[in-house]
Amino acid sequence: MSEIQLWTTIFIVLTFALYIVIAWRSRVSETEGFYVAGHGIPTVANGAAVAADWMSAASFISMAGLVAFLGSDGSIYLMGWTGGFVLLAMLIAPYLRKWGKFTVPEFVGDRYSEAVRTIAAAAAIIISFTYVVGQMNGGGIVFSRFLGLDITGGVLVAAAVIFIYSVLGGMKGITWTQVAQYTVLIIAYLIPAVAVAQLITGFPIPQLSFGQILGELNSVGAQMGLNEYTQAFTERPMVDVFLVALTLMIGTAGLPHVIIRFYTTKTVRGARYSAFWALFFIALLYTTAPAVGAFTKLNLMEGVRGRAVDQLPDWVQNWANTGLVEVAPGVERIGSISNDAEAGADLTINNDILVLASPEIAGLPAPIIGLVAAGGMAAALSTAAGLLLVISSSVSHDFYFRRIRKSASDRERLLVGRIAMGGAVIVAVIAGINPPAFVAQVVAFAFGLAASSFFPAIVLGIFWKRCNAIGAASGIVAGLALTITYMLYTLDVFGLQEHDHILDISPEAIGAIGALVNFVVAIVVSKLTAPPPVHLSEMVENLRYPGKRGQKPAATPEGG
Partner 1 sequence: MTEESPDTQPQSHEQWRRDYWRGNLRLMVVLLTIWFVVSFGFGILLAEPLNAITVFGFPLGFWFAQQGSIYVFLVLILVYAIRMDRLDDKFGVSERDENGDRL
Closer residue to partner 1 in complex, CB, 497/551: 551
One residue of 14, 306, 502, 545 binding partner 1 per CB under 8 A: 545
* Under rule CB under 8 A, residue 266 binds partner 1: yes
At closest approach, how far in Å is the CB of 552 from partner 1?
5
Instruction: Tell me which residue of 391, 307, 395, 320 sits closest to 350, measured CA to CA.
Output: 320
* Under rule CB under 8 A, residue 233 binds partner 1: yes
Per-residue x/- track, 68-107, partner 1 (CB under 8 A): ----x-xx--xx--xx-xx--xxx--x-------------
At closest approach, how far in Å is the CB of 510 from partner 1?
17
Query: What are the φ/ψ torsions at residue 325 (nearest 5 degrees)?
Result: -130, 135
Closer residue to partner 1 in complex, CB, 204/546: 546
Closer residue to partner 1 in complex, CB, 81/400: 81
The Cα 237–Cα 502 span in angstroms is 12
Closer residue to partner 1 in complex, CB, 314/541: 541
Closer residue to partner 1 in complex, CB, 24/463: 463
Closer residue to partner 1 in complex, CB, 102/281: 281
At closest approach, how far in Å is the CB of 117 from partner 1?
25
* Under rule CB under 8 A, residue 547 binds partner 1: yes
The Cα 162–Cα 476 span in angstroms is 32
Sign of the alpha-carbon dihedral angle for 104, 110, 115, 116: negative
Per-residue x/- track, 9-48, partner 1 (CB under 8 A): ----------------------------------------
The Cα 83–Cα 98 span in angstroms is 23
If you count them, how many residues does the chain have?
560
At closest approach, how far in Å is the CB of 78 from partner 1?
5
Which amino acid appears at position 129 of this protein? F
Closer residue to partner 1 in complex, CB, 285/345: 285
Q: Which stretch binds partner 1 (CB under 8 A): 8-16, 286-294, 356-364, 450-458?
A: 286-294
R_g (Cα) of the chain, nearest Å? 24
Contacting partner 1 within 180-219 (CB under 8 A): 207-208, 211-215
CB count in 10 Å sphere of residue 531: 13
Cβ-count burial 398-419 (b if 16+ within 10 Å, e if not): bbbbbeeeeebeeeebbebbbe
* Under rule CB under 8 A, residue 273 binds partner 1: yes
* Under rule CB under 8 A, residue 222 binds partner 1: no
Cβ-count burial 68-93 (b if 16+ within 10 Å, e if not): bbbbbbbbbbbbbbbbbbebbbeebb
Query: What are the φ/ψ torsions at residue 253 (nearest 5 degrees)?
Result: -70, -10
* Under rule CB under 8 A, residue 354 binds partner 1: no
The Cα 206–Cα 503 span in angstroms is 37
One residue of 268, 384, 431, 458 binding partner 1 per CB under 8 A: 268
Q: Do residues 531 and 523 touch, judged by C-beta distance below 8 A? A: no
Contacts of 203 (CB under 8 A, 6+ apart): 197, 209, 212
Secondary structure (3-state) at 58: helix
At closest approach, how far in Å is the CB of 232 from partner 1?
4
Q: Which stretch binds partner 1 (CB under 8 A): 109-117, 272-280, 344-352, 366-374?
A: 272-280
The Cα 517–Cα 514 span in angstroms is 5
One residue of 188, 245, 372, 416 binding partner 1 per CB under 8 A: 245
At closest approach, how far in Å is the CB of 547 from partner 1?
4
Helix 534-543 to helix 446-463 angle, to the nearest 10 degrees? 100
* Under rule CB under 8 A, residue 537 binds partner 1: no
Q: Which positions touch partner 1 (CB under 8 A)?
A: 67, 72, 74-75, 78-79, 82-83, 85-86, 89-91, 94, 207-208, 211-215, 230-233, 238, 241-242, 245-246, 266-269, 272-273, 275-276, 279-280, 283, 286-287, 290, 538, 541, 544-555, 557, 560
